[in-house]
Structure 1
Amino acid sequence: MLRYFLYFWLGLLLIAKSYAEPDFTIAKLSSKMTAYYHIHQQDMHFENKAYRLFIAEPKQQSKPLPVLYLLDGNAHFSLAVNAVNPDLPLPLIVGIGYVSDNAYSINERRRDYTFAVQDETFKNGGGAADFLRFIQTEVKPYIEQHYRIHNKKQHFFGHSFGGLFGLYILFHQPNLFQYYTLASPSLWWGKGEFLPKKSDWIAHKPEYILITLGEYEEFPEKDPQITSEQKQRIQQRQQIRPFNAEQLSEKLKSQGNNAHFLWILNKNHGNSIPEAIKYSVELIQK
């Protein structure tokens, strides 16, 4: 019996890597878009942890810039820059990543993006409070000091654990950004222990919350490429989450938030990322 439970929980913790992995190659920046953007990198250190900012600054700018902050910056930064429509006003794009050549830093993102919970199964995460402090006291002040940004048009994007971290910001420091895209948030983390006890979860209502989910994440049986093992792991995750992403959107909406949900059809957890980023970029360019 003990062995069964060990395998069960190990399967849950391996979900992010074993089912529908994101593309672990880093997309190249489009030469078309580098004609419009200056590209910079800035390494930062915070409490003995190393981070790297990936920054795309419009070459032509006459007004304060809306800014899009993305987690998993090593992988998502180029996807966001390539998704920009050059015929519309260009945003400043900031990818928050790690000092690494890898697309995703698996251990670091689990450490930084997840809520602290009591269940020992989730002991390898729980650093969201520290990571939020890093963004609040280091990242945003740096960007605001070096770039002319629009303070009322600050957008956040996070996928998977990054989407979960977006919830952490909303629950603890919601006015840090005005627009949020939570893509495929990992609602199974902590078996719902991360939810606030108060009835109104978000004290300061942001302008807009977009929650996206790949169709095959919720309905793995529709995925023609899925294996029986992968399907079982997804179902295990679904059993311990408090609700799904669409229900989360409805709950936030019922509490007075301007929340919206979007299915990304025929996509799974990994290959829904480019489309989710595209929707976030479209939102900032409206």
Structure 2
Amino acid sequence: MLFQFNVFAESDVSIAKSFEFKSKSLRENRTIVVSLPDGYESSNARYPVLYLLDGVQNLKHVVGSVDVLTRVGSIPPMIIVGIKSKSRMKDFTSTKAAGIEESGGGQAFLNFLGDELIPYIDGKYRTNEFRVLEGHSVAGLFTAYAFMESPNLFDAYIVMGPAFWWNKEEPVREVKSFLSATPKFDKKIYFGVGKEDGNRHALKRFVEEIKAAAPSELVWKHEEFDDEGHMSAPLLNNYFALKFIFSDMKLPQEIKDNFTSKKFLEHEAGIMKKYGSAARQPQEIYVPLAMELIKHKDYAGAVNVFRRNAEAYKMNKYPQNYVWLAEALEKNKEPAEALKVYKQAYELSKETGYGELEKLAKKIAGLKAKL
């Protein structure tokens, strides 16, 4: 690491830090940008990593989408690692093409990711085992090459407007061979493209091969977006790709319809084990579910859901999360615990200026008198 500086979205808001990485395998320095999730410094959580090709160019819109989806609980907080290429044709093509002298360096770039950059990131930051690779255009070509050439390096792939026209649609031929030799492939792959992007036709032929011979356990999706071209589609591609990749975080309808605290807590433990302890449901799931449980007088279940909601959204410092939990505890005949939680709500309300201090003080005094 030679030096470090901030990358700014605005003059006073830093969204990432950048450093020069000296690669032995590539025999050159590479600019790497790293965006850490909110709360990283104050937590002990480990986070999935999104490796973003053309990382400097795409950083702003990807950080924005990740921020929105993380805040609402659609995806887990994650570390974004962007890689800047000096020659895209060199890095992102695995074979030589006539007239493109620098082409064919894809294997060396893949070695750089697997042998150097990923171990460095895992050593420096609190990462968990889940890794995503994202690329657009020729970087999308490389992303597809990566899952065929080194399928265990990443857990999910985002392939956007890929240049599958390369060498007379070489990737379309390669994926057919890959699929025939790979009966099992426990990964997630998202293919996205604008309907005005000329690359959509070769991508469609690539996807047809997957549709015909998808390995067991492969989870994949192909989407085309109206009124979007090659350069405008990545914003939407990235947003919907992330929702797709982490869609298993969402509480299954079966658990909501046939609720037991055991099944609910097992699901929550599962997403935290897979995606890090900061993974969570949207509050739009937790709160209505708990309210419905109260209607059906499953107060213990409501306590479990409201407690999970309060813990998962602790960083928001929203007093009402604790009020809901305290009310459920009262209904579940746990006045001592309810008192503790009402006190938390009171202190948060005082700290944040939320209000309701008089109402909370009365609840606290009333419970104290009962106890």
TM-score by length of 1: 0.70
> Structure 1: how far apart are the matches of 2:63 and 2:77?
10
1:151-207 deviations in Å (ceiling 9; x for gaps): 0x2111000000000111111101111110100110111113354373626746242
From 90, 95, 102, the counterpart of 1:111: 90
Q: Greater relative contact order: 1 or 2 (C-alpha under 8 angstroms, separation 6 or more)?
A: 1
The count of corresponding residues between Structure 1 and Structure 2 is 225
Q: Are 1:273 and 2:241 counterparts? A: no
Q: Are 1:65 and 2:65 counterparts? A: no
Q: Which has the larger radius of gyration?
A: 2
Secondary structure in 2 matching 1:81? helix
Identity of aligned residues (%): 24
Partner of 1:48: 27
1:285 Cα offset (Å): 5.4
Secondary structure in 1 matching 2:32? strand
Instruction: Please show how residues 74-153 of structure 1 align to structure 2 within 5 Å.
Output: 74-84=56-66, 85=68, 86-87=70-71, 88=73, 89-98=76-85, 108-117=87-96, 119-151=97-129, 153=130
Partner of 1:261: 222
1:48-75 deviations in Å (ceiling 9; x for gaps): 3321111011241443211111100111
Partner of 2:207: 249
Secondary structure in 2 matching 1:69? strand
TM-score by length of 2: 0.55
> Structure 2: how far apart are the matches of 1:199 and 1:80?
30
Amino acid paired to 1:170: F
> Structure 1: how far apart are the matches of 2:180 and 2:160?
19
1:78 Cα offset (Å): 1.7
Secondary structure in 2 matching 1:174? coil
1:246 Cα offset (Å): 2.4
Tell me, yes or no, if the aligned pair for 2:190 and 2:244 is still in contact at 8 Å.
no
**Unaligned residue ranges in structure 1 (runs of 5+):** 1-26, 99-104, 219-236
Partner of 2:167: 190
Q: Are 1:156 and 2:133 counterparts? A: yes
- Higher share in helix: 2
> Structure 1: how far apart are the matches of 2:159 and 2:180?
16
**Unaligned residue ranges in structure 2 (runs of 5+):** 1-6, 248-371
Tell me, yes or no, if the aligned pair for 2:164 and 2:170 is still in contact at 8 Å.
no
Instruction: Please show how residues 15-26 of structure 1 align to structure 2 within 5 Å.
Output: none
Partner of 2:255: none
Amino acid paired to 1:53: I
Tell me, yes or no, if the aligned pair for 1:30 and 1:82 is still in contact at 8 Å.
no
> Structure 2: how far apart are the matches of 1:141 and 1:78?
25
CA-atom RMSD, angstroms?
Answer: 2.7
Secondary structure in 2 matching 1:278? helix
1:275 Cα offset (Å): 1.5
